[in-house]
Amino acid sequence: MSKTGPIRHARKALLWLGVIFIMLSILMGVGIMTNNASFAPKLALDLEGGTQMILAPQVSGGAPATQEQLDQAVQIIRDRVDGSGVSEAEITTQSGKNVVVSMPGVPDAKTRELIKASANMEFRAVIEADQRVTAVPEDQRTPAKDLPKPTAKPENGSDPNWVDAKLQKEFEAFDCVAEIGKGASVVHDPTKPMVACEPSTATTYILGPVEVPGTDIKDASSGPERNSQGAPTGGWSVNLEFTGPGQAAFRTVTERITPLAPPRNQFAILLDGTVISAPRSQAIIADGRASITGGFTEASAKDLAEQLKYGALPISFTIQSEQQISATLGTDQLRMGLISGIIGLVLVAIYSFFQYRLLGLVTMASLIVAGVLTYQAIILLGWAQNYRLSLAGIAGIIVAIGLTADSFIVYFERVRDELREGRALISAVETGWKRAKRTIIASKAVNLLAAFVLYMVAVGNVKGFAFTLGLTAIADLVVVFLFTHPMLQILAQTKFFGQGHRLSGLDPSLLGAVPLYRGAGQIRRFNQEAPEARGKKNTAAAAEAERRQTIAERRQAAAKTGSTGNADTKESDRG
Amino acid sequence: MANLATWGNELYTGKRSYPFIGKRKIWFLIAGILVLASIILPIAKGGFNLGIEFRGGSEFTISGVAHQDIAPGEQAVSQIAPDSHPSVTNIAANTMRIQTDKLSDEQTVQVAQALADAYGVNKSEVTSTFIGPSWGADVSRQALWGLVVFVVLVTLLMAAYFRTWKMSIAAIIGLFAVVVITIGIYSLSNFEVTPSTIIGFLTILSYSLYDTVVVFDKIRENTHHVFEQKKRTFAELVNLAINQTLVRSINTSVVAVLPVGSILFIGTFMLGAGTLQDLSLALFVGIIVGTLCTVFVQAPLYAAMRMNEPAIRKHDAQVLEQREVSA
């Protein structure tokens, strides 16, 4: 290959690396400018302090929870946790069977109850409705003398006699905004009326006692709305199906409320004490198949149907594992983790210099580039995906130092092999790379596969470990292709490396190249070449080595010169 | 470097050669004994030292303690939960860990307060963990799943890359030896088995195979044109490949072990038990065993599997015949 070929290639590769680096930096800059990202990686709960709970679903009847049920449960728990004022909670499903709730700080008993409680869905009849989301101002509230006084015992769920002075006061003082999310923590007596609001329509209601519990819902689905002739109207409807007892109860309700004046012809569907829908009853539903229509979009109909279908399912959770990690402990572990990382890096550096002399500099520079790329990726993923670095993740990065250096060693050893074959450095770098490339890709594929499998099956913060292992494996591939190899191509052109300076790590004579072997004399030869640079101890050691090796080498040299020569050896090695 | 480089040269040219293939029966025997011992040892010891993730229970960690006496901790727990079998350990400077049987929520709060009083720290320095026994079982089951999925995928990957099933099979058999021996050594250390340990073992799979792929790649290269030369037998070519990659094997495993060793050392002597320690011990042992197994078990196994192929037997006979003629 001509002298300009590798150099041009090297420049191109380095340019690409530069482009990647600049693009990541710009992205980071944008993130930081918009205050959504920061220079420090986001830390996971184990390093920042917080609580992680792993919840096992308990479905009534003992059936395993489906992924859909779990997703719905996650949504419900997220609403509850966010509603109770804890921010930054992460709620995810885990391996399709558990729900993991992670939140900073320590949850109080109430929050814990909130998370464990099963979703509570119920149907209640509407007694009064008022289109507002905040409390009625004090001065506009009904004066004490005008507060309703029930004249008789209420007869059914829609009877205005349920509304007494206390309930009316509560109704007027009800602040929908403040109450959202608290629903699940407040137990509402199913036999008593209650005040609740529907956030989507900004309406506050007085509702009668529970008429149909959510467990009586058999199924719910959404679909295009059809008129009495069965032609689509263009709207969307939610279709409900009740079980046997639900069927009867629902029939009773619709029979009673359909002729009533608004708003008492409405029934409210509550999830965790919040009204998710309050449809008007337009017909008596005797067969247990109800259809809710009016103002739905495809998405909102689907949402409601899912809420009805899964929200009604009485999934409760048991806390399978609850871990509280204080930040104090986390900081300590973080510091020690970083210290061991630095020590590991220094040890790798020392060993690289020992083994590869100034090529060790290339190793270090490559590791630094890999580190920078990994850092940028972590920051960006933290911004985009809320990726947080856990202690296990940091352990993954430290382990990756060694794995990253591995691919350089595979490469360097290949180049050395080529030098041993008697090639000049420039071509040794090229052929060595061609062969090392395959090996590096194949072995990194194994690493990536492992990281991927680990990530998919891993639990808890071990995911972080797998994630960083995978991330660093990719960074390693980028670096070895776009930095290490081009650097070696460029260095091969320099006098220092190209002529195989003794400290370059690529000294052909030291590697036994040209000629491959000349018997015992050879060692003496390169010892004598630069005796001044070697310490007294080294000289002594070399002399000792020489004395020891001479006999064995002479014998072997004698044997070799007889039948097999260097040319033969080479031929077969080249295979 | 001079001596190691010279040594590397001699290994490369074949001037100096270690009989990895020739003595394979000895290596297999040693590996077999180690595997057997690794299975018997944990059984003889009465199982592993399982972490509370597997047993179930409550764990408290107290940071910044005024003193490191064990008695006050035991006393504090016993006052509130008399039958909870507390085990108090000083896991790091200024850090105590108390493990108990499972406590109720109320007891947990009370014990945390009692421990804070006993060790003269603020209550915020006491952290509590409750882990159900099924948690560890879940982790193990997941890990086992991961193992199966990974082994299947990696077998396919290697078979596709090397274009021979025998390399995949040799690699996977060796892999099991690596994992079993590592588990045996881990059991010997009496470290706790935690979910981190399990994950450490899974990571070993990755490293061990990574190392195997590098050596097998050289074997593939050396034996690619095995029938086009009459100088060396198949086994000799494989042996040469192992020798030629020996320096690389040593260098990569040293480089991989250094950072892990640094975590292990710092984890053990400055932090005490925890994620870092469990993970790094499994990795530390696994990397070393993995490298040794590649050289002594996996590569010789591959050679042994192929040596009886008729074509290779025929070729070997030709090579030996020619060698006799020229001698």
- Identify whether residues A107 and A203 lie together within a single domain: no
Q: Residue B102: is its pLDDT beyond 80?
A: no
Would you call B288 an interface residue with chain A, using a CB distance cutoff of 8 Å?
no
Contact A415, A488 (CB under 8 A): yes
- Identify whether residues A492 and A374 lie together within a single domain: yes
User: Cβ contacts (< 8 Å) between B121 and chain A: which residues?
Assistant: none
Q: In whole angstroms, give the CA distance from residue A271 to residue A336.
A: 47
In a domain, A548, yes or no: no
Instruction: Find, in chain A, the residue whose alpha carbon is nearest to that of B105.
Output: A109
- Identify whether residues A338 and A480 lie together within a single domain: yes
Contact A575, B221 (CB under 8 A): yes
pLDDT at B34: 93
User: Cβ contacts (< 8 Å) between A340 and chain B: which residues?
Assistant: 259, 262-263, 265-267, 276
CA distance readout (Å), B42 to A257, A367, B36, B47, B196: 71, 40, 11, 5, 19
Q: Which of A484, A526, A520 is closest to A501 using CA atoms?
A: A526
Least confident interval from A328-332, A374-378, B99-103: A328-332
User: Cβ contacts (< 8 Å) between B196 and chain A: which residues?
Assistant: 392, 462
Mean pLDDT of A350-363: 85
CB proximity list for A541: less than 8 A, separation 6 or greater:
none
> Is B196's CB within 8 Å of A392's CB?
yes
SS3 B300: helix
Axis-axis angle for helices B165-189, B195-223 (nearest 10) = 140
CATH number of the domain to which A217 belongs: 3.30.1360.200
Q: How confident is the model at residue A265 (pLDDT cuts 50, 70, 90)?
A: confident
pLDDT at B87: 76
Answer with the one of A97, A115, A133 that is the final residue of a domain. Answer: A115
pLDDT at B140: 74
User: Cβ contacts (< 8 Å) between B214 and chain A: which residues?
Assistant: 410, 439, 443
- ipTM more than 0.90? no
CATH number of the domain to which A435 belongs: 1.20.1640.10
- Identify whether residues A30 and A101 lie together within a single domain: no
Q: In whole angstroms, give the CA distance from residue B6 to residue A409.
A: 17
Q: Which of A324, A240, A332 is closest to A288 using CA atoms?
A: A240
Would you call B12 an interface residue with chain A, using a CB distance cutoff of 8 Å?
yes
> Is A398's CB within 8 Å of B259's CB?
yes
> Is A333's CB within 8 Å of B237's CB?
no
Would you call B93 an interface residue with chain A, using a CB distance cutoff of 8 Å?
no
Burial label, B106 (beta-carbon count in 10 A; 0-12, 13-18, 19+): exposed
Domain extent listing, chain B: 21-49+140-320, 57-131
Q: In whole angstroms, give the CA distance from residue B187 to residue B191.
A: 7
- Identify whether residues A100 and A193 lie together within a single domain: no
CATH number of the domain to which A80 belongs: 3.30.70.3220
Q: What is the pLDDT of residues A368-385, one digit of tens each?
A: 999 999 988 888 887 776
> In this predicted model, which residue has the larger pLDDT, B89 or B114?
B114
- Identify whether residues A164 and A282 lie together within a single domain: yes
CA distance B44 to chain A (A): 30
Q: Which of B8, B255, B327 sits opposite A402 (nearest CB)?
A: B255
> Is A324's CB within 8 Å of B127's CB?
yes
- Identify whether residues A54 and A77 lie together within a single domain: yes
pLDDT at B171: 92
Domain with A386 in it = 8-40+326-508
Instruction: Find, in chain A, the residue whose alpha carbon is nearest to that of B145.
Output: A457
pTM of the model: 0.66
Q: Which of A269, A311, A266 is closest to A118 using CA atoms?
A: A311
CA distance B50 to chain A (A): 16
Q: How confident is the model at residue A224 (pLDDT cuts 50, 70, 90)?
A: confident
Interface of B with A in 156-215 (CB under 8 A): 157-158, 161, 195-196, 199, 202-203, 205-207, 209-211, 213-214
Q: Which of A56, A413, A465 sits opposite B199 (nearest CB)?
A: A465
In a domain, A63, yes or no: yes
pLDDT at A542: 47
Q: Residue A525: is its pLDDT beyond 50?
A: no
Contact B262, A340 (CB under 8 A): yes
SS3 B75: helix
CB proximity list for A386: less than 8 A, separation 6 or greater:
A42, A90
> In this predicted model, which residue has the larger pLDDT, A334 or A567?
A334
The residue behind tokens 């021996």 is: B181
> Is A516's CB within 8 Å of B13's CB?
yes
> Is B1's CB within 8 Å of A575's CB?
no
pLDDT at B131: 65
Q: Residue A518: is its pLDDT beyond 50?
A: no
> Percent of chain A scored above 90 by pLDDT?
5
> Is B202's CB within 8 Å of A516's CB?
no
pLDDT at B300: 93
Number of domains observed in the structure of chain A: 3
Q: Which of A347, A459, A572 sits opposite B142 (nearest CB)?
A: A459
- Identify whether residues A372 and A454 lie together within a single domain: yes
> Percent of chain B scored above 90 by pLDDT?
20
Spell out where A287-353 has E strands: 289-296, 316-325
CA distance B150 to chain A (A): 6
Burial B292-315 (b: 16+ CB within 10 A, else e): bbbbbbbbbbbbbbbbeeeebeeb
Q: What is the pLDDT of residues A443-458, one digit of tens each?
A: 888 889 888 887 777 6
Q: How confident is the model at residue B150 (pLDDT cuts 50, 70, 90)?
A: confident
CA distance readout (Å), B237 to A27, B11, B243: 51, 13, 10
Q: How confident is the model at residue A566 (pLDDT cuts 50, 70, 90)?
A: very low
Provide DSSP, B120-150: T--GGGEEEEEE-HHHHHHHHHHHHHHHHHH
pLDDT at A256: 86
> Is B213's CB within 8 Å of A355's CB?
no
pLDDT at A514: 47
SS3 A371: helix
> Is A337's CB within 8 Å of B276's CB?
yes
Least confident interval from A388-397, A425-434, B126-135: B126-135
Q: How confident is the model at residue A164 (pLDDT cuts 50, 70, 90)?
A: confident
User: Cβ contacts (< 8 Å) between A459 and chain B: which residues?
Assistant: 138-139, 142, 195
Structure tokens at B45: 């010891």
Q: Which of B53, B154, B214 sits opposite A439 (nearest CB)?
A: B214
Q: In whole angstroms, give the CA distance from residue B287 to residue B254.
A: 9
User: Cβ contacts (< 8 Å) between A332 and chain B: which residues?
Assistant: 63, 92, 95, 271
B175, B178, B179, B181 alpha-carbon torsion, rounded to 10° = 150
Q: How confident is the model at residue A328 (pLDDT cuts 50, 70, 90)?
A: low
What distance lies between CA B202 and its chain's CA centroid?
Answer: 8
Q: Which of B6, B259, B271 sits opposite A402 (nearest CB)?
A: B259
Q: Which of A467, A69, A462 is closest to B142 using CA atoms?
A: A462
Q: Which of A321, A444, A461 sits opposite B132 (nearest CB)?
A: A321
- Identify whether residues A160 and A242 lie together within a single domain: yes
> In this predicted model, which residue has the larger pLDDT, A572 or A422?
A422
- Identify whether residues A70 and A207 lie together within a single domain: no
Mean pLDDT of B168-183: 92
In a domain, A521, yes or no: no
pLDDT at A35: 67
Q: How confident is the model at residue B297 (pLDDT cuts 50, 70, 90)?
A: very high
Identify the bridge partners of residue A317 per DSSP, sorted by sequence position: A57
Rg (CA), chain A: 37
pLDDT at A517: 40
Q: In whole angstroms, give the CA distance from residue A199 to residue A277.
A: 9
pLDDT at B26: 92
> Is A447's CB within 8 Å of B210's CB?
yes
Q: What is the pLDDT of residues A114-137, one digit of tens each?
A: 777 666 778 888 888 888 777 788
Q: How confident is the model at residue B296 (pLDDT cuts 50, 70, 90)?
A: very high
Q: Residue B28: is its pLDDT beyond 90?
A: yes
> Is A523's CB within 8 Å of B135's CB?
no
In a domain, A551, yes or no: no
> In this predicted model, which residue has the larger pLDDT, B177 or A292?
B177
Q: Residue A567: is its pLDDT beyond 60?
A: no
Q: Residue A67: is its pLDDT beyond 60?
A: yes
Q: Residue A327: is its pLDDT beyond 60?
A: no
CA distance readout (Å), B215 to A443, B133, B155, B289: 10, 42, 16, 15
- Identify whether residues A105 and A130 lie together within a single domain: no
Least confident interval from A48-57, A419-428, B184-193: A48-57
Least confident interval from A174-183, A276-285, B22-31, B274-283: A174-183
pLDDT at B168: 92
User: Cβ contacts (< 8 Å) between B12 and chain A: which residues?
Assistant: 417, 420, 512, 573
Q: Which of A443, A571, A574 to mutate to test the interface with B (most CBs of B within 10 A)?
A: A443
Q: Which of A398, A405, A410 sits opposite B214 (nearest CB)?
A: A410
CB pairs under 8 A between A and B: 277
The residue behind tokens 């031929």 is: A571
Q: Residue B299: is its pLDDT beyond 60?
A: yes
Mean pLDDT of A26-33: 85
> Is B203's CB within 8 Å of A406's CB?
no
Answer with the one of A480, A508, A536 that is the final residue of a domain. Answer: A508
Would you call B236 an interface residue with chain A, using a CB distance cutoff of 8 Å?
no
Answer with the one of A483, A508, A533 that is the final residue of a domain. Answer: A508
Burial label, A42 (beta-carbon count in 10 A; 0-12, 13-18, 19+): middle
Q: Residue A565: is its pLDDT beyond 70?
A: no
> In this predicted model, which residue has the larger pLDDT, A488 or A324?
A488
Would you call B56 an interface residue with chain A, using a CB distance cutoff of 8 Å?
no
Instruction: Find, in chain B, the residue whose alpha carbon is nearest to that of A403.
Output: B256
User: Cβ contacts (< 8 Å) between A511 and chain B: which residues?
Assistant: 5, 8-9
> Is B266's CB within 8 Å of A413's CB?
no
Q: Residue A315: is its pLDDT beyond 90?
A: no
- Identify whether residues A28 and A68 lie together within a single domain: no
Provide φ and ψ at B164, rounded to 5°: -150, 135
In a domain, A416, yes or no: yes
Q: Residue B32: is its pLDDT beyond 90?
A: yes
In a domain, A57, yes or no: yes
In a domain, A108, yes or no: yes
Handedness of CA A454, A460, A464, A467 (dihedral sign): positive
Provide DSSP, B158-186: HHHHHS-HHHHHHHHHHHHHHHHHHHHHH
Contact A168, A142 (CB under 8 A): yes
Q: Residue B44 gets which letter from DSSP? A: H
Average pLDDT, chain A: 75
> In this predicted model, which residue has the larger pLDDT, B316 or A72?
B316
Structure tokens at B108: 């947990």
Q: In whole angstroms, give the CA distance from residue A120 to residue A271.
A: 6
> Percent of chain B scored above 70 by pLDDT?
92
In a domain, A167, yes or no: yes
Q: Which CATH number fits domain B57-131: 3.30.70.1150, 3.30.70.600, 3.40.1170.60, 3.50.50.60?
A: 3.30.70.600
CA angle B289, B295, B298 (to 5 degrees): 90
Average pLDDT, chain B: 83
Q: Which CATH number fits domain B21-49+140-320: 1.25.40.340, 3.40.30.10, 1.20.1640.10, 3.40.1360.10?
A: 1.20.1640.10
> In this predicted model, which residue has the larger pLDDT, A571 or A442?
A442
> In this predicted model, which residue has the larger pLDDT, B96 or A414?
A414
Mean pLDDT of A274-292: 81
> In this predicted model, which residue has the larger pLDDT, A150 or A460?
A150
Element (H, E) at A232: strand A232-242
Mean pLDDT of A454-464: 67
